[in-house]
Structure 1
Amino acid sequence: MAATSPLHAHGITLRPALEQDMAFLRGLYHQSRAAELAAVPWPDVTRRAFLDSQFELQHRHYIGQYPDASFLIVERTGSPLGRLYLHADGDALHIIDILLLSAVRGQGVGTALLAHVRQLARQHACDAVQLSVLRDNAAALRLYQRLGFTRVGGDAMRLAMRQALS
C-alpha cells in the first residue's frame, strides 16, 4: 500500500510483513504485554517462553482467520515502528490489529495510520472502519473516541468500535 499524505507528514511507510519480520513482531508483542506481566513472579526464561507461545497462537489465529488480510509493517526511514493488520469485511474495513512501539506512541503516528485507513476504506467503497480494543486500554480508547469512533458492542474484555465514513 502506498503512503498517503497523513503518513508522509510523519515519514511513515507501510509494507507487507515478511518472514524476516517475525523477530521484530515477536519483540513488539513482548513489549505490548510487559506491563501486564510485570507483577507475575516468573523467571525471565518462563516469561519469554509464555510470551513466545502467546505470540505464536495470536499469529496463527490471525493468518487462519483472515487469510486475505493485509499484514503490514509500519516503518520510518526503513526502521520498523509497529504493525497494522487490515481486512475488508463486508461494507467495512476492519482493523484487525494496530500496535506500535512504546517509544513512538503519543507522537501522532497512530492518528496518521487511522487517517490512512479511512482513506483506504473510502477508496475501496467501504462505509465504515471498525475495530475492537481492550476495555482497559485507556490511551487507545481516548484516541479512537477523539477521532470519531463510537462503541457498537463488545464483551467483558473488548469494545467493538466503528466509524462511519461520510
Structure 2
Amino acid sequence: MTKIKGKPLRLQPATNEDLAFARELTRVNMREYYIRYGLVWQPEAFDAEWPRRESYLVVQAGRAIGFLGLTIESAYLYVRDVQLIEAYRGEGVGEWVMTCVAQMATERGCASVRLKVFKSNPAVGLYARLGYLHAGEEAALFWMERVVNQ
C-alpha cells in the first residue's frame, strides 16, 4: 500500500456528485495553461464529457485530493485528466496514480497508455521518467505514450 505524508492512497470511482469538485479542480489547475496558450475554459464541455469518462477520485484519509479521468479507446487507455490539489503535487501522488493507470491498462489488455500534456507542464518530466515517449505534438500539447502490453 502506498502512503503519502504517512497516509494511504486509494482510487475510488467518482459519481455524478463528484462532478463539481472535478470541474473546479480542473479549472483552477489548468487556468495558467489556458491563459498562456490562449484557450478558453468551457465548463459545459467538461460536464458534457463527464458521463463518457471513467472517473476516479484520488482519496487520502477520507478526503478527495484529486481525480483521474480515463477513456478506453480501440487498443489503448487514454488519460483525459490527472488533477491534484496543489498541496499534494510533488509528493509522489501523481506517480502513484500513473502506476495505477498502467496496471489498469495491463489488466484490460490495452497495448498502451496515451495522454496529452501542456508543453510547459512540469508533469512532462514525470511522464518521461515513467517511460512515456513523445508521440507527437500540437501547438500547446505534447502527445505521449507508454507501451504496457506487447
TM-score interval for Structure 1 and Structure 2 normalised by the shorter chain: 0.7 to 0.9
Q: How many Å separate the matches in 1 of 2:95 and 2:139?
A: 26
Structure 2: runs of 5+ lacking an equivalent: none
Q: How far has the Cα of 1:56 moved from its partner?
A: 2.6
The residue that corresponds to 1:153 in the other structure is: 136
Shift of 1:29: 2.4
Structure 1 residue 34: Cα displacement: 4.5
Q: Which has the larger share of strand?
A: 2
* Superposed CA RMSD: 2.3
Q: Does 1:164 align with 2:147?
A: yes
2:80 pairs with 1:96: yes
2-structure distance, mates of 1:130, 1:113: 14
Which portions of structure 1, spanning 4 or more consecutive aligned residues, are displaced by more than 6 angstroms? none
Larger Rg: 1
Structure 1 residues 58 and 126, CA, compared in 2 at 3 Å: closer, same or farther?
same
Amino acid at match of 1:24: F
Larger helix fraction of residues: 1
Which structure 1 residue ranges, 5 or more long, are not aligned?
Answer: 40-49
- Structure 1 residues 126 and 58: alpha-carbon distance in aligned structure 2, compared to 1, 3 A threshold: same
The structural deviation recorded for 1:105 is 0.2
**1:57 deviation in Å?**
2.1
What does residue 45 of structure 1 align with?
none
Alpha-carbon distance in structure 1 between the residues aligned to 2:14 and 2:57: 5
TM-score (norm 1): 0.76
1:100 Cα deviation from its structure 2 partner: 0.7
For the 8 Å contact 1:128–1:164, the answer to whether it is kept is yes
